[in-house]
Chains A and B, each alone.
Chain A
Amino acid sequence: MAPSDKAIATDGAGVATARMPSIETVMQPNAATMLARRILGHRSFMVAAIIMAGLILTAIFAPLLAPHDPLDQVLIRRLIPPIWAEKGQWEHLLGTDMMGRDYLSRMIYGARVSLLIGFCAMMISGVLGTVMGVCAGYFGGRVDMVITFLLTTRLTLPVVMVSLALVAVVGGSLQTVIIILGCLLWDRFTVVMRSATMQVRSLDYVRAASAIGCSTRRIIFSEILPNILGSLLVIATFEIAHAVLLEAALSFLGLGVQPPTPSWGLMVSEGKDYMLFEPYLVMLPGLAIFTLVLAINLLGDGARDIFAPENRN
Chain B
Amino acid sequence: MSYLPKPKLHHPTLPKNALGYTRRDYEGAISTLCAGCGHDSISAAIIQACWELDIEPHRVAKLSGIGCSSKTPDYFLGASHGFNSVHGRMPSVLTGANLANRDLIYLGISGDGDSASIGLGQFAHIMRRGVNMTYIVENNGVYGLTKGQFSATSDKGSKAKKGAINTDEAIDLVGLALQLGATFVARSFSGDKAQLVPLIKAALLHKGAAFIDCISPCVAFNNHEGSTKSYDFVREHNEVVNKLDVILGRQPITAEYEPGSVTEVTQHDGSVLRLRKLAPDYDPTDRVAAMNYLQERKAAGEIVTGLLYLDPDPTDLHANMGTVEVPLNRLGDAELCPGSAALARINAALR
A is bound by B: no
Interface of B toward A, CB cutoff 8 Å: none
Binding site for B on A (CB under 8 A): none
